[in-house]
Amino acid sequence: MSPDGTILATTSPRRAIAHSRLRRALGNAAVPLFLLLAAILLRAFSFAPAVIDTDEGLYMLQAREWLRGNWPLAEVWDMHPVGAPALFAAIMALLGDAIWVPRLLGVIGTWLTAWALYAIVRFATAPPALGLAAGLLYLAHSTLIGGLATNTEILFTPLTAWSMALGLRAARRALEHDEPPPFTKIVAMGLMIGFALAIKPVAVFEGSLAWLLLVGPAVLRRVISWTRVLAYAVSYAVLCATPTLLFGFAYFLKGDLDDFINGAFIAPLRYAGARVSLLDAGRYTLIAVMILLWAFALVIPAVVRPRTRRGPVALLRWVCLAWFAAATAAVIMPGMYYQHYFLLWLPPLSLLAALGARRLARAARPGLVVAAFALLVGGVSLDAWRSSTVPRLYGAIGLTGPDPVREVAAAIRQVIDPGDRIWVVNYHPTLYVLANAGLATRYAFPAQLVGPYWRVTGIDPYEEVARILASTPQALVIDRGWWPNIRPRVAAMIEEALAENYDLATVVWEERGPVEVWRLR
């Protein structure tokens, strides 16, 4: 009580500390929650169509069969490791096999990557607005170049991005405080990069860069012995190999190790051997750059005659340039240059674009710098989202317009009983899941059996096609728009089987032409 009789409000120290911790927790949660909301809104249109990318449907099918006891590579073949179907199986075990389930996995993947970009900026002690801007730029541009589908690049990038964040934090502490990296970071980064490699081996380049960030500055500052560096290197290599070794051991116990080795290692080498020409590689790369044009435009002021050559922003810039080089090596490695490969550019590109927007904004009057920065980042992000959204609104697939894939699935369900074997000759593997149909062949990805990439399987495709047709699946699905891509001998075998054993049940029109559902007589 005060001398004049007024009762003074008092707060216990314990309550003040609890209040401070609550405020700090809410503040720390604000950015990831904002980025999660942005990821949901920017990727909302991905939930509408049944198919965005054919690869995604294969992972769904592998996951469904895995949950039924039929393992990927052994029962549903592919030329990728099993990390992607493992993640699909995990979320489908929880939420079911509806189309929105893997799309939700895509939302989670992009959100985690955007959050990692924010963490990278904070670990570099650069202004937090840069991290928020980089996260938004990434989320918006990940809706382009095939990023709306939950592909391998969407799945393993969070792992490489968070590894880069931990590596950068260790690098800064070595440079500023002469602290060697703790072994716990080796464990965390090794396991994250290891599972990224179990999704797609091209993560090796970003994994190597993360390792250099973790150990390199400590070596330069001579705060770590070479013996310890060697021990860290061996430990990191073992940890990176651990997820793949565990998968391999599981396949060994099941008796399918040969299938695991063929699908996860040998087939990708066969695939990489059939590289596109240098001219086509340059053309595909130029197309990706033009799609991401405004992001690249913002990079220019970030790297051309930068004002700061030391400090957090400079460190962030050099790390991003090295990261972009590693991502480019990962894009080049398969030799095919599909657009979704270039999604690996986006994390470092988004960080560099945020740095460029910051430099341009600082040219404005002092009172307008924040507004100019927000306008640049918001405008480029909005334009990227617009570019991906307008075609989807125009086509209206899964929105107000028909979805041919769902229509074909409905037609299949009319002519089969649940679980009956069908053969989707040259259409989307998602149909097996949507129609609740069984497989007439483990080579469910059309391009790997009847299409141009048949050599990756290591089998005689004509023998497999003859076996499938002799087993008389209950239904066959043929996309006449893609029919010219089927090898002539296979096409003749199929046409002969249709004439002898099948009747045309339904025709569904795609943008490329008719999709036919044939039923067994």
pLDDT tens by residue, the chain, 521 residues? 445 555 444 456 666 666 666 666 666 788 999 999 999 999 999 999 999 999 999 999 999 999 999 999 999 999 999 999 999 999 999 999 999 999 999 999 999 999 999 999 999 999 999 999 999 999 999 999 999 999 999 999 999 999 999 999 999 999 888 899 999 999 999 999 999 999 999 999 999 999 999 999 999 989 999 999 999 999 999 999 999 999 999 999 999 999 999 999 998 888 876 778 889 999 999 999 999 999 999 999 999 988 777 788 889 999 999 999 999 999 999 888 999 999 999 999 999 999 999 999 998 888 899 999 999 999 999 999 999 999 999 888 988 889 999 999 999 999 999 999 999 999 999 999 999 999 999 999 999 999 888 889 989 999 999 999 999 999 999 999 999 999 999 999 999 999 999 999 999 999 889 999 999 98
CB 41 within 8 A of CB 143: no
* Alpha-carbon distance values, 26 to 21, 91, 136, 181, 331 (Å): 9, 28, 20, 29, 39
DSSP 59-70: HHHHHHHHHTT-
* Alpha-carbon distance values, 483 to 120, 454, 463, 488, 517 (Å): 48, 15, 20, 10, 14
pLDDT at 455: 87
Would you state the torsion angle of the CA atoms of residues 140, 141, 146, 152, taken in this order, to the nearest 10 degrees?
A: -90
Name residue 424's amino acid.
V
The count of residues in the chain is 521
Task: Provide CB contacts within 8 A for 182, sequence distance 6+.
Answer: 170
Q: Return the closest-CA partner of residue 99 out of 444, 433, 511, 509.
A: 433
Q: Return the closest-CA partner of residue 344 out of 324, 321, 364.
A: 324
Task: Provide CB contacts within 8 A for 61, sequence distance 6+.
Answer: 76, 429, 430, 432, 433, 439, 444
Distance of CA 19 to the CA centre of its chain: 39
Element (DSSP H or E) covering residue 505: strand 502-509
How far apart are the C-alpha atoms of 40 and 441, rounded to whole Å?
36
CB 450 within 8 A of CB 426: yes
SS3 364: coil
* Alpha-carbon distance values, 24 to 28, 34, 280 (Å): 6, 16, 52
Q: Return the closest-CA partner of residue 54 out of 479, 371, 516, 521.
A: 479
How far apart are the C-alpha atoms of 478 and 273, rounded to whole Å?
29
CB 321 within 8 A of CB 349: no
Instruction: State the DSSP code for 457.
Output: G
How far apart are the C-alpha atoms of 90 and 87, rounded to whole Å?
5
SS3 131: helix
SS3 255: coil
Tokens 């840069």 map to which residue?
A: 130
pLDDT at 507: 96
pLDDT at 511: 87
SS3 354: helix
The pTM of this model reads 0.92
Q: Helix H segments across 12-78?
A: 13-42, 54-67
Neighbouring C-beta atoms of residue 370, cutoff 10 Å? 12
* Alpha-carbon distance values, 440 to 54, 75, 203, 272, 425 (Å): 19, 11, 33, 28, 10
How far apart are the C-alpha atoms of 325 and 70, rounded to whole Å?
39
Q: Return the closest-CA partner of residue 349 out of 383, 325, 384, 375.
A: 325
Measure CA of the first residue to CA of the last residue in the chain; give whole Å: 96
Tokens linked to 210: 């993360």
